[in-house]
Chains A and B, each alone.
Chain A
Amino acid sequence: MTKVKLVARDLEMSFGSRRLFNAELLELRQGDVIYLQGDNGSGKSTLMKILAGLMPPTKGQIDALGFAKNKWWQRNPLLGKAVYLHQHPYLFDGTVEYNLTYGLNFSSETKAKAKQRIGQATEMAQLGSLLNARASNLSGGERQRLAIARAWILQPKLLMLDEPTSNMDKDSQALVLQMIQQLKQEGAGMLLSSHQNCALTAICEQQWHIENKQVLISHQQTHSHSAQGALYVIAN
C-alpha cells in the first residue's frame, strides 16, 4: 500500500512585515513520528495549521501525495488529509458522544467498524461514564482525551497534535500517550509539538526545530532530555 505524505517546499510564513519562519523542504510521511520543537510564538501551531490546510502559507507549495483523488467540490487539496488537534481543543456544543462521533459523519467507515472503533476509543480514553454528559462540563484533561479520541476514531493517516499534554495530570497524560502509541502502531504519521521534552516526545524519531525563524531537522531520538542532536539547517 502506498504511504501517504505531505511535502512542503520553499515554505515561508509572514504576518505583515514580520517573518515567522521559512523552510526549504519538509516531509511528513505516514509512519513518521516527528517532534516539533520551538519557543512560544515561534510558529509551531502556524506550521501545523499550514500543513493541515487550515491556513495558507505566505509563500511555498505543499503537496499531498498518495491520497485518494479530491472530490470536485474540494477546493483546498490539503484539507482533510491530516487531522490537526488544537492545543486547547474545541468541543462542539452537545454531548460527549456527539463530539466523539462527529467525524464519522464524513468518513466512509462501515457502521459495524465505526461502532467497534467508538467502543475502543471510549474505553481507551476512559470516557464511558461520560458519553451522555455535556462536553462543556468536562475537565481540561477530559476535554483533551475526548479530542484525541475523536481524531483516533477516524484512523487518520497523518495527525498533528499541538501541545497535546499541556496542563494535564499524570493519569490523563498516560492515557493520551497510550492512544498516541496505538496510532503509531497503526502506522499513522504524527507531528507533535511541545516546548519541553516529555514521555510523549520520547516516542518521536525525528525532530523539527524552529529556531532563528528557520525550521531545522534532526533525525536523532529525543528521549534524553539533554539530547538536542546535531541539527542541520535545511532552510537557507
Chain B
Amino acid sequence: MNDGWLALLQQALSLLFSLDPEVWSIIYVSFSVSFAALLITLIPSMVLGFVLAFAPFRGKWLITNLVQTLQSIPTVVIGLLVYLLLTRNGPLGDLRWLFTQEGMILGQMLICAPVLIAMSQAAFTSVDRRAWETSQTLGASWVRAVWTVCRELRMPLLLAIVAAFSRILTEVGCSMMVGGNILNITRNIPTAIALETSKGDFAQAIALGLVLLILALILNFALGSLRGKAMPRSH
C-alpha cells in the first residue's frame, strides 16, 4: 500500500517537473481564469465594501445581508445560474460564452465578489476613525486619506483578497457547469482533479493537488510573516 502511495507521488512529481504539457495547460487555465476574475472584481468590490462601511443610506442593511447570503451560496448553484444566463436561449446567450473561459470568469466573478465585499466591509468598519481624521487634518486630500486608511488596513484587506482567490481557484461546481471541462480550453485544476479521480488516474490528480497545496502554503506563510510584523495597537 505504502509502495503504491510512493509510486503515485513519484509519478505526480515527475508530471510536474517534466513540464507535462497537459498538466501545465490545466494549471495555466486555472490561474489565468481565476486571476482575471479577481482583477476585474477587486476594485469595484473594495469600493462597495468601503461605501457599505461608511455611507449611511437606505437599504444598507438589506444589501449587507444579501452580500453575506451570497457568500454562502454553493458554487454549483452559481454555476447553474450562469449556465441559464449563458445558454443559447438565455438572456446572455448571444455572447456565446458557455463552455468558454469568459463564461468561467463570469461565474468566478459572482463567487469572488461577495467574499471581497463582505470582508472589505468588515475591515473598513473596524478602522480607527482617528486614522481618517489624522490623515485629513494633516493635509491629505480625500483620495490620499482613503489610500492611508487602506494602507492601515492592508492585512485584513490582503486576507480578503487571499480568501476570495482561494475560493475561486478551488471551486469545482461553477467551473464544471459553465466551462464544461474541455482540455486545453476550460479544464482547470479542480475540474481536472475531479475527472482524473473518477477515471482512477490518481497521479495527475495528486500533481494538481500538490500545486494547490504549495500555493496555499506560500500564500499563508507570506501572510503569516506580514502578520508577524504587525503589532497590536495601543492608545
Contact = CB atoms under 8 A, between A and B. Distances in A.
B197 interface: no
27 contacts: A49-B133, A54-B133, A54-B136, A73-B142, A74-B141, A79-B136, A80-B136, A80-B137, A84-B133, A84-B137, A86-B130, A86-B134, A88-B130, A92-B131, A92-B148, A92-B151, A92-B152, A93-B230, A102-B135, A103-B139, A106-B138, A106-B140, A106-B141, A107-B139, A136-B232, A136-B233, A136-B234
Which 10 A/B pairs are nearest by Cβ-Cβ distance?
A90-B130, A106-B139, A103-B138, A136-B231, A88-B235, A90-B134, A84-B137, A80-B139, A54-B133, A83-B137
Interface of A: 49, 52-54, 73-75, 79-80, 82-84, 86, 88-90, 92-93, 102-103, 105-107, 134, 136-137, 150-151, 154
B128 interface: yes
- How big is chain B's contact interface, by range? 20 to 34
Contacts of A83: 137-138
Contacts of A82: 137
| Chain A contact surface mostly | loop
Nearest to A80: B139
B155 to A, nearest CB: 9
Nearest to B140: A106
Interface in B97-139: 128, 130-131, 133-139
A75 B136 CA distance: 12
B37 to A, nearest CB: 30
Contacts of B131: 90, 92
A75 B142 contact: yes
A90 B128 contact: yes
Nearest to A79: B136
A92 B132 CA distance: 10
Nearest to A107: B139
Q: Which of A53, A90, A106 has the most CB of B within 10 A?
A: A90
B141 A154 contact: no
Contacts of A80: 136-137, 139
A11 B234 CA distance: 34
Contacts of B148: 92
Given A73-B142, A86-B133, A136-B234, 6 more contacts: A54-B133, A54-B137, A73-B141, A75-B142, A88-B130, A137-B231
B140 to A, nearest CB: 5
Interface string B203-214: 000000000000
Contacts of B234: 136
Nearest to A153: B138
A103 B139 CA distance: 6
A17 to B, nearest CB: 18
Given A136-B234, A137-B231, A89 B134 contact: yes
A136 B139 CA distance: 22
A150 B138 contact: yes
B144 interface: yes
B153 to A, nearest CB: 9
A90 B133 contact: yes
A82 B133 CA distance: 12
A83 B139 CA distance: 8
B231 A134 contact: yes
Contacts of B235: 88
A45 B131 CA distance: 16
Contacts of B128: 90
A93 B232 CA distance: 10
B230 to A, nearest CB: 7
Nearest to B153: A93
B144 A106 contact: yes
B138 A151 contact: yes
Contacts of B152: 92-93
A154 B133 contact: no
Contacts of B135: 102
B151 A93 contact: yes
B175 to A, nearest CB: 38
A186 to B, nearest CB: 18
Contacts of B232: 136
Nearest to A82: B137
A159 B233 CA distance: 26
